[in-house]
């Protein structure tokens, strides 16, 4: 059971890292107008979603399993 939790955490962490790396590529041009660019917003949303999923999974499952 704990191994499944770690696998899921790895998945969310890998995807969060991919989104983070994309955000870094356009971070120099990150301003209020960037929010009009749907592709940039999708990447930022993806990073935030994965970050929240990691926190939730750790709090709801991993800490209880440990």
Under 8 Å between Cβ of 20 and 47: yes
pLDDT of 35 reads: 81
Measure the CA angle with vertex 51, ends 2 and 3; round to 5°.
10
pLDDT of 52 reads: 97
pLDDT of 45 reads: 95
pLDDT of 15 reads: 97
Residue 51: which of 22, 14, 4, 1 has the closest Cα?
Answer: 14
Per DSSP, helices labelled H in 1-66 are: 2-26, 38-57, 63-65
**pTM score:** 0.82
Q: What does the alpha-carbon distance between residue 37 and residue 44 come to, in Å, rounded to a whole number?
A: 11
Q: What does the alpha-carbon distance between residue 1 and residue 65 come to, in Å, rounded to a whole number?
A: 8
**What is the full per-residue pLDDT of the chain (66 aa) written as tens digits?**
899 999 999 999 999 999 999 999 887 877 788 788 899 899 999 999 999 999 999 999 989 988
């Amino acid at each position: 059971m704990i191994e499944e939790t770690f696998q899921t955490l790895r998945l969310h962490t890998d995807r969060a890292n991919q989104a983070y790396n994309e955000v870094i590529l356009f971070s120099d041009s990150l301003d209020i107008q960037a929010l009009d660019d749907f592709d940039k917003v999708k990447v930022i949303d993806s990073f935030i979603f994965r970050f929240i999923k990691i926190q939730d999974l750790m709090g709801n499952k991993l800490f209880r399993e440990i």
